[in-house]
Structure 1
Amino acid sequence: MVRSCSYIVTPPGATIKELLNDRGMSHKEFAARMDMSEKHIRKLINGEAQLTPETAIKLEMILGVSAKFWNNLEAIYREKLIKAEAENAKDLE
């Protein structure tokens, strides 16, 4: 999560984490279902790996939440991240 005066930026992975907790699914099981490494899943959840359209489709199949939702969430996250970082940089000047 990134913060600035105007923004609190939460990665889409926070929503993934909540859904996994709600379903009682471990990261290991989720990684296997997604056909991804646990390391990549951890990066995805922490916002260190970008959520690609291909990943969004896999999420739709595994979690039952539309790929469009995931793609929009990622786009909003990346936009707010840029704005928050720019605002933080401006505050340092």
Structure 2
Amino acid sequence: MIRNGMRPIHPGEVLSKELMEPLGMTVMDLAMPMNWPESEIEKLMKCQLRICADLAIRLAVHLKTTPEFWMNLQSTYDLRRAQLRQAGL
């Protein structure tokens, strides 16, 4: 396993710290136009929810990114956590 010393970064953390906070966006500001439950956006931001394809598409449209960006963040996070578990860390 390649170890880069970085902890796995959840997509919800990227959403919160890199996009919503700098834009001054609230959970409601994001959830309402996406027609997605606020409670699920809150769970995502608390790193308690995975990005699914539907959510990736909605985030991409609303935040002017791509669905692949969100899905790649999720798969990278999942892979890194599995590598750490495999290594017993």
The TM-score, its normalising length taken from structure 1, stands at: 0.79
Higher relative contact order (CA 8 A, sep 6+): 1
User: Structure 1 residue 65: deviation in Å?
Assistant: 0.9
Query: Percent identity over the alignment?
Result: 25
Structure 1: give runs of 5+ residues left out of the alignment.
1-5
Structure 2: give runs of 5+ residues left out of the alignment.
none
Pairwise mapping of residues 65-80 of structure 1 onto structure 2 (< 5 A)? 65-80=65-80
Runs of 4+ in 1 over 3 A off after TM superposition: none
Question: What RMSD over aligned residues (CA atoms) do the two structures have, in Å?
Answer: 1.8
The TM-score, its normalising length taken from structure 2, stands at: 0.82
SS of 1:9's equivalent in the other structure is: coil
Instruction: Give the conservation status (yes or no) of the 8 Å contact 1:16–1:45.
Output: yes
* Between structures 1 and 2, the one with greater strand share: 1
Aligned residues: 85
User: Structure 1 residue 64: deviation in Å?
Assistant: 0.5
